[in-house]
Structure 1
Amino acid sequence: MDLNQILGYAGALLIGVVLGLIGGGGSILTVPILVYLLFINPVTATAYSLFVVGVSSLVGAIRNIQKGLVDFRTAIVFAVPAFIAVYIARKYLVPAIPDVVLTIGDFDVTNNIAIMLFFALVMLVASVSMIRNKREDNGEDSIVSYNYPLIIVEGLLVGLVTGIVGAGGGFLIIPALVLLAKLPMKKAVATSLLIIAIKSLIGFIGDVENLEIDWPFLLLFTSLSVIGIFIGIYMSNFIEGKKLKKGFGWFVLVMGIYIIYKELTM
């Protein structure tokens, strides 16, 4: 096992630790770790990311269900359009991306470069959301209400983004649940994990039919991420998540800029 592999598997553990500490964000590290440390093709990496994110989020969701924090009605309303969009994206949209998306002078923007650039833009948006961290909380006694048209549109949008880049989209889902369904923050975070798990794993089904999956590698990588979640949950008893989230946001911002630089100068 060489240094890159060691760092890659350590990264899998880190993904889980971040998810356990701040309830999201770790999934946005999965694709860069798979692509730049383990040299996996970006299309395959986004597929693997869906599985890792889906299983890891499911572990967190089960924990939150036991605590009574998951609002199942909201999860269903949001998840149905989201998983339809993510399945369509993985089954039909991603395979339809041409080998060369755009030619600028002598520079060919291949499908791999296009996916990584789009992923970097998602990272930049996520980083701003984490750095600002100014989410309104509705309070535990707030009445849950549903703006169905906006929730469905948001679900389709999140599903599309998830399908293309393989990230969970918690930074989009949580504000939507707080603002559109009037969920308290704790319930929004908990419900978000269940939505992420459902749509990510259903999206991955679309990949099973299109890609050859290295199951031993994927199961090992996912297992390390799940172990990391429990480590992160334990560490969250001693570390303030809000400050950590802002610091992680700056890290994601730098990573997004680095990916754009790397893809455009290769």
Structure 2
Amino acid sequence: MEILGYLSSVLIGISLGLIGGGGSILTIPILVYLFKINPENATSYSLFIVGTTSLLGTYKHYKLGNLQLKPALYFGIPSVISLLLTRKFILPSLPSKIFEIGQMLITKDILIMIVFSILMIFAAFSMIRKQPETINKEINLTKLIVLGLVIGIITGFLGAGGGFLIIPALVLFGNLSMKQAIGSSLFIIFINSTLGFLGDVLNGVVINYTFLISITLIASIGILIGTKLSKTIDGKKLKPAFGWFVLLMGIYIISKEFLNM
């Protein structure tokens, strides 16, 4: 299974480079199901892998003119604040056993994976659904700030870069094209994930750096491939394709977790 995990890691980078998200959607299942890392530790590992890989993707998309700093910062700053508070106070305070219904035990690890998959499904529908065409729509900074706070909490809880949530927010309320949302999303993911990981290290999370760096290097190869592919694919086609990808992954994860209860 580990060999399959290493081979699958290249898809983390391809997803980030091509659609500006989905890295964590692949990273968490790969770490949990193929490398047998418990979900809470996998959230820390995911932050490093996705954050480091996203830095490379950010530079590539900046060169392509896809990085839009204003909406990225209005979204990213509140997102970072709520992410760090969540990793510091909320996640450690959750008990290992959340609740029990009959013979069904919901643990902290199962809860993380179920919440992760539910949010993936909701985000998928927002991307698949056709949005009305608008001309010269202004950026809704207030909604970007509020969504940044909310998604920062979610990102902190799940250890996800949040691209599958950030991209819809930037497209719908930041008035960005799909490709601009991809480049800006990678910048936000880099900041959120890197600071979230550093916070985990300061909080005493034990990290296997040899393993972590090896996965990150493989994912970095993938993001170079994904960014190259993004130059040749129409941005309008990426949005629904991304949505269907997220939807299928979300259904798979939630099904697997319920079957294992």
Q: Same fold (TM over 0.5)?
A: yes
Query: Which residue, 239, 247, 250 being the options, matches 1:253?
Result: 247
Confirm whether residue 82 of structure 1 aligns to residue 75 of structure 2. no
Partner of 2:16: 19
Within 5 A, what are the aligned runs for 1:1-266? 4-132=1-129, 134-135=130-131, 142=136, 145-148=139-142, 150-208=143-201, 209-237=203-231, 243=237, 246-247=240-241, 249-266=243-260
Contact 1:146 1:181 in 2 (8 A): yes
Hey, what's the Cα distance between the residues in 1 that align with 2:199 and 2:134?
36
5+ residue gaps, structure 1, are none
Label 1:18 to 1:174 Cα distance change in 2 as closer, same or farther (>3 A).
Answer: closer
Partner deviation per Cα, 1:172-218 (whole Å, 9 max, x = no partner):
32332334333444333322211111111111122112310111111
Post-superposition offset of 1:10: 1.1
Separation of aligned partners in 2, 1:203 and 1:16: 19
Determine the C-alpha separation between the residues in 1 that align with 2:19 and 2:61: 14
- In 2, distance between residues paired with 1:170 and 1:248? 11
Change (3 A) 1:183 1:234: closer
Contact 2:6-2:218 within 8 A present in 1 as well: yes
Give unpaired runs (5+ residues) of structure 2: none
Letter in 2 for 1:219: I
Is the 2:98–2:107 contact (alpha carbons within 8 Å) kept by the matching residues of 1? yes
Give me the whole-angstrom Cα distance separating, in 1, the residues matched to 2:177 and 2:22. 20
How far off is 1:237 after superposition?
4.8
- Cα-to-partner distance string for 1:44-90 (whole Å, 9 max, x where unaligned): 11111111111121111112223443232322221111001111111
Counterpart contact for 1:51–1:200, Cα < 8 Å:
yes
TM-score (norm 1): 0.87
Measured in 1, the distance between the counterparts of 2:131 and 2:25 equals 20
> How many residues are treated as equivalent by the alignment?
259
Q: Which amino acid aligns with 2:42?
A: A
Structure 1 stretch displaced more, 51-60 or 234-243: 234-243
Instruction: Give how far 1:25 is off.
Output: 2.0
**Retained in 1: the 8 A contact 2:19–2:182?**
no
Query: What CA distance in whole angstroms lies between the structure 1 residues aligned with 2:245 and 2:182?
Result: 21
